[in-house]
Amino acid sequence: MTIRVLLVEDSPIALVVLKRILNSSEQIEVVGEAGTGLEALNLIPKVQPDVICTDLHMPHMNGLELTSKV
């Protein structure tokens, strides 16, 4: 069984690093990427992730606010 992961990160460099690390595992599939909490909220119903890996410090909606809305 593959673990479906949504990455939420406003830093493009951090996003690339996280994606490379997670994609190195055959048990993990990165199903989406979002640069903001709002993008993530719109993407969640479409990609239906098992896990959301989010940055805590993002503009407009931080990772804790995103988590509380999920």
Specify the pLDDT at position 24: 96
Domain that holds residue 26: 3-69
d(CA 62, CA 68): 10
CB atoms within 10 A of CB 26: 7
**Tens digit of each residue's pLDDT (9 = 90 or more) over 1-48:** 899 999 999 999 999 999 999 999 999 999 999 999 999 999 999 999
Q: What's the pTM?
A: 0.89
CATH code: domain of residue 44: 3.40.50.2300
Q: How many folded domains does the chain comprise?
A: 1
User: What's the one-letter identity of residue 39?
Assistant: E
